[in-house]
Structure 1
Amino acid sequence: MSSLVGKISMINGPVILGENMTGFKMREMVLVGEKKLIGEIISIDKDSGIIQVYEETEGLKRDEKIVSTGKPLSLKLGPGMLGNMFDGIQRPLKSIKDNFGDFIPEGIGLISIDEEKEWDVEIDVKVGDTVKEGEIFAKVQETELIKHKLLVNIGVNGKVTKVIEDGKYNIETDLVEVEDEKGKKHNLKMYQEWPVRIPRPIKERLPIDKLLVTGQRVLDIFFPIAKGGTAALPGGFGTGKTMTQHQLAKWSDADIIVYVGCGERGNEMTEVLEDFPKLIDPKTDKPIMQRTILIANTSNMPVAAREASIYTGITMAEYFRDMGYHVAVMADSTSRWAEALREISGRLEEMPAEEGYPAYLPSRLAQFYERAGYVESLSDNDGSVTIIGAVSPAGGDFSEPVTENTKRFVNVFLGLDRELAYSRHYPAINWLNSYSGYMNMLKNYYEMNLDEDIEDLRAKMLKVLYEESRLLEIVLLVGEDVLPDEQRHILEIAKVIKIGFLQQNAFHREDTYVPLQKQLEMLKTIDLLYERGLEAIKMGIPISKVRNGELYDEVIKMKYTIPNNDIEKIDRIKNLINNFYDKLELDYSR
């Protein structure tokens, strides 16, 4: 602990003005007042400084002490994070409830992962070995699903001089001693501390060319998210942002999920905290919490902590990425985080930009999203951090500053539509204003895993949907009967695409998760229906004969009727289509 001490000169909500602060540093963590509230210095000018406090400041008085800790806001990264629920600055909520009751008391300090729990440690190095920063030196089976790989602290390189025996130890135990070139000795524990605002170092960034498989058809085929990529999920109230993120957390092939509830309403976050511990990981039949970290910072918690929670989540994700894991970060929602920036900016009397948000909103969003990536870590393992950020524009207005600026920094934009949600079409992703910038990058992935390029098929189906939206405007004016048969056929096939492919039932055993191969076969079946119908129309067969309600129903219902483990049965539906149109064309030619 540093010996520097300043004092409070003014209090403005979560923002404190301090004086006598010569020697304090920017972004340093401080303890404010007699209650020792945790704060962070966000501005220094000569001997005065501005501090944002991560706890409720009511009761603070002028001239109370501001004590330096000598380090920036940092996290303890080690065993005990998985399966845990933290607040925005990594304080464990379950432990706080057990020890202090239903409310987080003021001034409890930066308690984080359990310091007393003992873990089974397997040491991978021996005396005389040379180790470098970021290298794996030991392992701990943190949960049944995840092996926690202990990393040499950043900045530590040298020769191993002492090693403890394998056994049960708590996180404060010195496991390995390393002597660097200068003769200085470093003790490696089970954890390391890392400042939340500084990205963890890597060896190099790798190409983003692997699909984050989600089992959700509208994503995997139409608007794919890549491992190490960035995605925005904007939508108004009730459009299914949280539900979509639940599906991604449960079904995506990420090894670890970090779910950051950033400023959402208390009841929504409560639902997440109650639901996630009950979810079962479908791939292992173990609780999904064994590979999940929850960070809860609701709208009634101190606003400054909301701003920190995003960085807390991404720092934890980078730590597991450095072990060689693929991590998906769900941020729900970055709009509330931006509102925290706006409130603190207002307290600081900064010049506001559009809609009152600070002028530095775009750069802060960029700093957050650029921490995603597919990398080779210092441990020589490939790992990734994928960021999926929900955005909550007021009234569902996508032209507001947070949505518009988020669009600049993400490669996948999944616009949620209120009308689709209210008509029970989930996921309510609007195919007309959504896009993915990863299609070209994933071309080789699709060819390797599906034995063909799906880009042309996807483009063809999207063209049908775009054409349908244009035709519906005409139908509203003059009715469907005036359209030529080819265009009426497009309207029919668009319905099949929307209901039979894009709409997905999260509560149906076969439909909640769909393997990539089945997704492709379903789309090829719809394409066959489209092409055979078009051929018949071009032969002069009227749409009333081409449109077969029973056949269309078979195609729509194949998502339920064809088992995921027996997709060859889709051939039966393709045969039905071919047989029907062969007979139709034969009858007409007579």
Structure 2
Amino acid sequence: MYEVNSLNNTIYSINGPVVTVKDTKDFAMMEMVYVGDANLVGEVIGITDDRTTIQVYEETSGLRPGEPVKGTGAPMSVTLGPGILTNIYDGIERPLRDIHEKSGAFIERGADVPALDQTRRYDVTVLVKPGDELSAGSIYATCPETPVILHKCMVPPNMSGTVTEVMPSGSYTVNDTVVRIKTPSGAIESLTLCQKWPIRTARPASLRKPISLPLITGQRVIDTLFPIAKGGAAAVPGGFGTGKTMTQHQLAKWCDADIIVYVGCGERGNEMTQVLDEFGELIDPKTGNKLTDRTVLIANTSNMPVAAREASIYTGITLAEYYRDMGYHVAIMADSTSRWAEALREISGRLEEMPAEEGFPAYLPSRLSQFYERAGYMVNLNGTEGSVSIIGAVSPQGADFSEPVTQNTKRFVRTFWALDKSLAYARHYPAINWTESYSEYVDDLTAYYNEKVSPDFLTCRRRISTLLAEEASLMEIVKLIGADVLPDDQKLTIETAKAIRLGFLQQNAFHKDDTYVPLEKQLAMMKIILYVNDRCEAIVKQGTALSELVELGLFDVLAGMKYEIPNDHPEAFDRLYEKINTALAPFEKTTAEGMVNAQ
């Protein structure tokens, strides 16, 4: 057996990304360490009387027993400051562009590249003066990080004091001191443009506010039927090819969040490359600038070290909380939490822990809850309000929603957008199944819909949902005995539901008026669909055959109105009402005359 000198803290054993050190008391739980001669980044995940277990966030091939392990005395942390936005990081916040310039297309082991550009200068405006009292979270300086985002430099949450020295407003780098404060203990602390924060610790806030505002996405099936709130959490489960990534791209582009954090966790390298290319070319519809001006990407592909995949989720949520503390609304896209859970399973297996269902560790639910519970609408320490909304993709093998990751995720999210393979293959986008999906935020958002949109919005939503549910039950009968045996009123339900599916739920991401639809137009579309349904129902009750009404082509008009009526011309709905009334009037008149003659 290899003998180690306990005084030197050297590697005792190596099992993939798991490294152990024997006979040492020098490390603390969750401490960040440097492993081996190459200074690989690692984190202490287990301590016993004689063994310290470390997970290494880089490739361990070539590592040998006897190489040194050095502690840092601090937990695994990220650097927070201007320069995060527009950047592309790996799972432990190393900037991939800088690494590419330094070592080429492959990440060099032990690459020591600062997370933020140390040479870039920012035009800083200092907001405080000597004698001011600064508490945790207080904003002491601002600088334009991108053309659309003003970066606010805040006192770290674990610090407070009296301003003793202030530098003049001007040009500074991230490490330059702009303010000095005297803490209650009498120590003098220097405040720069950046700070560090441990990724596994949620940043504190003054108050978690009740959910009351929707995260408006412009996607009708989401905004109308299955909304997500600002500060809420949603899951997007679906099998291979159902459009999870496409859905998250669309939400990243159109949702009314101020900042987007996109975490590519364990996805294919070519898919992540496509994300990077597309995000670099997309124009932000809100500002007219590049979408990357308010986006940070964390790329941790499937061929990168598995332990870093586990850390990437926490890195992303910590960056999101930092911008939330400035008063911004942040949406984090995690694609996909299943790959993250697989990383947990692999590391758990190497630690020889007792496996639970399907080999996942027994603590999978608690880890999922720790992640999703960091969403919320907060009153920050500095009095501003901000939110973090989490949208996590889930990739169940074989599209089996009964597997552990999907089932445990459902426990901690209140919106569930179930993607359907048959819808995806039928080119129905978004492929969100309206019978399996749900949202528990509707009641929380009722006041918003009634005040900001219309009291009719939720009424129409309920009727649309009811028609879709009735169609689902009727189609079971149709599969058994055919549609011809159904009475006309039930056939009308099927026709209306078809118009809802094709004209309302299905969207074209490449059409200028259909890729994003405001709530007012969504309501107008629901109203006109229900108007045609009610008029036709009354005519059918008076004896007219539904087939005659279908021949008018009104249901085809409803399916095509999403293209015909521009978002900024709501008066076009008036002309559509006139067209419907003109087409249906003869049937109502004939029916009325028939009733008079019968009397």
Q: Residues 383 and 107 from structure 1, CA distance in 2 versus in 1: closer, same or farther, beyond 3 angstroms?
A: same
Task: Report the counterpart of residue 404 of structure 2 in structure 1.
Answer: 401
Aligned partners of 1:324 and 1:467: how far apart in 2? 44
Task: Report the counterpart of residue 510 of structure 1 in structure 2.
Answer: 513
Task: Report the counterpart of residue 347 of structure 2 in structure 1.
Answer: 344
Residue 305 of structure 1 is aligned with which of 294, 305, 308?
A: 308
Aligned partners of 1:570 and 1:19: how far apart in 2? 75
Give, in angstroms, the shift of residue 453 of structure 1: 4.3
Give, in angstroms, the shift of residue 23 of structure 1: 2.6
Aligned partners of 1:227 and 1:275: how far apart in 2? 25
Give aligned pairs, total. 588
**Contact 1:350–1:358 under 8 Å retained in 2:** yes
Aligned partners of 1:4 and 1:124: how far apart in 2? 49
Give, in angstroms, the shift of residue 549 of structure 1: 4.6
Give, in angstroms, the shift of residue 324 of structure 1: 0.1
**Contact 1:32–1:65 under 8 Å retained in 2:** yes
Aligned partners of 1:549 and 1:271: how far apart in 2? 45
Task: Report the counterpart of residue 416 of structure 1 in structure 2.
Answer: 419
Residue 35 of structure 1 is aligned with which of 14, 20, 38?
A: 38
Aligned residue identity for 1:415: A
The range that moved more, 459-468 or 131-140, is 459-468
Residue 360 of structure 1 is aligned with which of 363, 387, 391?
A: 363
The range that moved more, 150-159 or 140-149, is 150-159
Give, in angstroms, the shift of residue 399 of structure 1: 0.5
Deviations 1:163-221 (A, max 9, x none): 01111111110110000222111100100000000000100001110010111000111
Q: Tell whether 2:147 aligns with 1:176.
A: no
Query: 1:532 aligns to what SS in structure 2?
Result: helix
Task: Report the counterpart of residue 49 of structure 1 in structure 2.
Answer: 52
**Contact 1:342–1:356 under 8 Å retained in 2:** yes
Residue 116 of structure 2 is aligned with which of 113, 122, 131?
A: 113
Give, in angstroms, the shift of residue 568 of structure 1: 1.8
Task: Report the counterpart of residue 101 of structure 1 in structure 2.
Answer: 104
Give, in angstroms, the shift of residue 580 of structure 1: 2.4
**Contact 1:92–1:111 under 8 Å retained in 2:** yes
Aligned partners of 2:156 and 2:471: how far apart in 1? 57
Task: Report the counterpart of residue 221 of structure 1 in structure 2.
Answer: 224
Give 1:3-152 correspondences, 5 Å limit.
5-109=8-112, 111-152=114-155
Residue 252 of structure 1 is aligned with which of 230, 243, 255?
A: 255
Give 1:542-561 correspondences, 5 Å limit.
542-561=545-564
Give, in angstroms, the shift of residue 109 of structure 1: 3.1
Give, in angstroms, the shift of residue 8 of structure 1: 0.9
Task: Report the counterpart of residue 596 of structure 2 in structure 1.
Answer: none
Deviations 1:50-93 (A, max 9, x none): 11000000001111111101111100000000000000000000
Q: Which runs of 5+ in 2 are unaligned?
A: 1-5, 594-599
Aligned partners of 1:284 and 1:464: how far apart in 2? 38
Query: 1:82 aligns to what SS in structure 2?
Result: coil
Aligned partners of 1:514 and 1:24: how far apart in 2? 55
**Contact 1:330–1:389 under 8 Å retained in 2:** yes
The range that moved more, 474-483 or 359-368, is 474-483
Aligned partners of 1:46 and 1:480: how far apart in 2? 73
Give, in angstroms, the shift of residue 21 of structure 1: 2.4
Deviations 1:507-558 (A, max 9, x none): 0000000111000000101010111111111111111122245222221111
Aligned residue identity for 2:163: V
**Contact 1:37–1:109 under 8 Å retained in 2:** no
Aligned residue identity for 1:483: L
Q: Tell whether 2:161 aligns with 1:158.
A: yes
Aligned partners of 1:465 and 1:549: how far apart in 2? 23
The range that moved more, 146-155 or 305-314, is 146-155
Aligned partners of 2:46 and 2:571: how far apart in 1? 64
Aligned residue identity for 1:535: A
Query: 1:567 aligns to what SS in structure 2?
Result: coil
Task: Report the counterpart of residue 195 of structure 1 in structure 2.
Answer: 198
Q: Tell whether 2:298 aligns with 1:295.
A: yes
Task: Report the counterpart of residue 207 of structure 1 in structure 2.
Answer: 210
Residue 430 of structure 2 is aligned with which of 427, 430, 433?
A: 427
Aligned partners of 1:549 and 1:80: how far apart in 2? 59
Task: Report the counterpart of residue 286 of structure 1 in structure 2.
Answer: 289
Task: Report the counterpart of residue 272 of structure 1 in structure 2.
Answer: 275
TM-score by length of 2: 0.97
**Contact 2:98–2:113 under 8 Å retained in 1:** no
Task: Report the counterpart of residue 441 of structure 2 in structure 1.
Answer: 438
**Contact 2:95–2:113 under 8 Å retained in 1:** no
TM-score by length of 1: 0.98
Q: Which runs of 5+ in 1 are unaligned?
A: none
Give, in angstroms, the shift of residue 105 of structure 1: 0.2
Query: 1:482 aligns to what SS in structure 2?
Result: coil
Q: Tell whether 2:329 aligns with 1:334.
A: no
Give 1:454-493 correspondences, 5 Å limit.
454-493=457-496
Aligned partners of 1:191 and 1:221: how far apart in 2? 41
Aligned partners of 1:483 and 1:5: how far apart in 2? 82
**Contact 1:41–1:49 under 8 Å retained in 2:** yes
Aligned residue identity for 1:495: K
Runs of 4+ in 1 over 6 A off after TM superposition: none
Aligned residue identity for 2:534: E
Deviations 1:453-502 (A, max 9, x none): 42222121111111111111211111110011111111100110000000
Give, in angstroms, the shift of residue 560 of structure 1: 0.7
Give, in angstroms, the shift of residue 4 of structure 1: 8.3
Aligned partners of 2:397 and 2:112: how far apart in 1? 35
Query: 2:516 aligns to what SS in structure 1?
Result: coil
**Contact 2:552–2:583 under 8 Å retained in 1:** no
Give, in angstroms, the shift of residue 100 of structure 1: 1.3
Aligned partners of 2:399 and 2:444: how far apart in 1? 31
Q: Cα RMSD between the aligned structures?
A: 1.2
Give, in angstroms, the shift of residue 38 of structure 1: 0.5
Aligned residue identity for 1:243: M
Q: Residues 209 and 182 from structure 1, CA distance in 2 versus in 1: closer, same or farther, beyond 3 angstroms?
A: same
**Contact 1:5–1:20 under 8 Å retained in 2:** no
Deviations 1:110-151 (A, max 9, x none): 631111111110000011111111011000100001000000
Aligned residue identity for 1:75: V
Query: 1:153 aligns to what SS in structure 2?
Result: coil
Aligned residue identity for 1:431: W
**Contact 1:38–1:109 under 8 Å retained in 2:** no
**Contact 2:280–2:291 under 8 Å retained in 1:** yes
**Contact 1:411–1:436 under 8 Å retained in 2:** yes
Q: Tell whether 2:579 aligns with 1:576.
A: yes
Aligned residue identity for 2:495: E
Aligned residue identity for 1:21: T
Aligned partners of 2:69 and 2:552: how far apart in 1? 74
Query: 1:481 aligns to what SS in structure 2?
Result: coil
Give, in angstroms, the shift of residue 98 of structure 1: 1.2
Query: 2:9 aligns to what SS in structure 1?
Result: strand
**Contact 1:4–1:23 under 8 Å retained in 2:** no
Residue 374 of structure 1 is aligned with which of 374, 377, 399?
A: 377
**Contact 1:443–1:453 under 8 Å retained in 2:** no
Give, in angstroms, the shift of residue 286 of structure 1: 0.3
Give, in angstroms, the shift of residue 5 of structure 1: 4.8
Give, in angstroms, the shift of residue 582 of structure 1: 2.7
The range that moved more, 150-159 or 520-529, is 150-159
